[in-house]
């Protein structure tokens, strides 16, 4: 009986890898049902006059009023734009540096302490320093977000390159591939590792984007949350929390979709 279920399960996992659009879009929405139920309970049993725990219907009213002021979409757009630009830059830099470090035999491990130091620097502590050097602007937010999200991509790329089979590198050399061709074959083979790094980096980048907006008050969802909190507008704070949550969910599903569409060619055993 247990064996039976285990088998069915593994078959289902395989199937979903190959046919990624096979009802996959519905599953996360079904998974959100408990949250919806919780909000419903809150709505029904909550205190309509509560200052700290406003009922969800007041959240939606708050969102709507933001929308009418023209603040909602422009803020989401600003946050999304910082996030997307940083992810692109972080992916390019992380992949390039990770490949370089993975290819240098002696440097790969020797630089570990430095990399550990840099990647553990808290983003919040970097914001003041970056603000002094670059000023409080979008460029500075980009630098902070890139700096904190580049590490998972860099380190995963490096270890993917280091773990490439020596047989692969011998056969690339033997076939006479050098320069650009060699790199493109290496990137292709390291792609599962690189994308794993991107998947880890994406939520981190979103967090740091919001954090940079909190601290610097640059336009964006983070700044809206900060001003709602400073105005003791608790319904708006909760509403924006929900917006941030939805943003994170969207980011996650986009990254997963990209990963699935790229990696279906790599076959079932790599993940």
Partner 1 sequence: MPELIKQDEVVYQVLDLSVNLRRRGQERVILESLSFDVLKKECLSIVGPSGTGKTTLLRALAGLVPYSGSVKFHGETLNGPASDVVLVFQDYVNALLRWRTVQKNVALGIEGRIPKEQCQERIDEAIETVGLQNYRDSYPWELSGGMQQRVQIARALAMKPKVLLFDEPFGSLDAMTREGLQDELLRVRSVFQTTCVFITHDIDEAVYLGDRLMLLSGSPASLTFELDIPLGASRNQILTKESGEFLGYRHQVYEQMRKAHGGSQATG
Separation of alpha carbons 100 and 16, rounded Å: 34
Q: What are the distances in angstroms from CA 88 to CA 142, 150, 205, 217? A: 11, 10, 11, 23
Residue 191 vs 243, nearer CB to partner 1:
191
Stretch that binds partner 1, among 42-50, 152-160, 184-192, 241-249 (CB under 8 A): 184-192
Stretch that binds partner 1, among 30-38, 182-190, 221-229, 246-254 (CB under 8 A): 182-190
Separation of alpha carbons 231 and 90, rounded Å: 35
Residue 212: how many other CB atoms lie within 10 Å: 32
Least distance between partner 1 and beta carbon 111 (Å):
21
- Sole binder of partner 1 in the list 19, 109, 139, 181 (CB under 8 A): 181
- Sole binder of partner 1 in the list 24, 182, 199, 266 (CB under 8 A): 266
Residue 21 vs 270, nearer CB to partner 1:
270
Which segments within the chain are labelled E, that is strand?
A: none
Using rule CB under 8 A, residue 270 touches partner 1: yes
Q: Are 185 and 200 in contact (CB under 8 A)?
A: no
What DSSP line would sit under 32-71, residue for residue?
THHHHHHHHHHHHHS-TT-SSS--HHHHHHHHHHHHHTT-
Residue 171 vs 231, nearer CB to partner 1:
171
Separation of alpha carbons 44 and 145, rounded Å: 40
* Total residues at interface with partner 1 (CB under 8 A): 21
Separation of alpha carbons 155 and 152, rounded Å: 5
Chain positions 139 to 178 lying near partner 1, rule: CB under 8 A, are 165, 167-168, 170-171, 173-177
Residue 186 vs 206, nearer CB to partner 1:
186
Residues contributing to the site for partner 1 (CB under 8 A) = 165, 167-168, 170-171, 173-177, 181, 185, 188-189, 191, 265-270
């Amino acid at each position: 009986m247990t064996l039976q279920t285990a088998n069915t399960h593994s078959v289902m996992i395989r199937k979903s890898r190959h046919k990624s659009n096979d009802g996959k879009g519905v599953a996360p929405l079904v998974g959100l049902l408990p949250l919806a139920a919780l909000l419903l309970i809150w709505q029904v049993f909550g205190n309509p006059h509560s200052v700290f725990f406003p009922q969800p219907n007041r959240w939606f009213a708050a969102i709507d009023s933001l929308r009418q002021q023209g603040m909602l979409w422009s803020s989401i757009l600003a946050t999304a734009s910082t996030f997307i630009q940083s992810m692109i830059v972080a992916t390019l830099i992380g992949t390039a540096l990770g490949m370089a470090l993975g290819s240098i035999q002696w440097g790969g491990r020797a630089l570990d302490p430095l990399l550990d130091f840099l990647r553990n620097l808290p983003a919040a502590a970097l914001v003041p320093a970056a603000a002094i050097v670059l000023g409080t602007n979008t460029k500075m937010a980009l630098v902070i977000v890139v700096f904190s999200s580049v590490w998972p991509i860099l380190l995963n790329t490096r270890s993917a390159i280091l773990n490439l089979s020596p047989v692969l590198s011998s056969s690339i050399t033997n076939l006479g591939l050098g320069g650009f061709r060699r790199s493109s074959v290496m990137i292709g083979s390291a792609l599962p590792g690189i994308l794993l790094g991107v998947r880890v980096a994406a939520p981190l980048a979103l967090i740091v984007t919001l954090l940079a907006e909190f601290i610097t008050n640059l336009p964006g969802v983070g700044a809206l949350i900060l001003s709602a909190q400073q105005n003791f507008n608790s319904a708006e704070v909760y509403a924006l929390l929900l917006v941030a949550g939805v943003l994170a969910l969207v980011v996650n599903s986009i990254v997963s979709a990209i990963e699935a569409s790229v990696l279906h060619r790599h076959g079932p055993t790599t993940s």
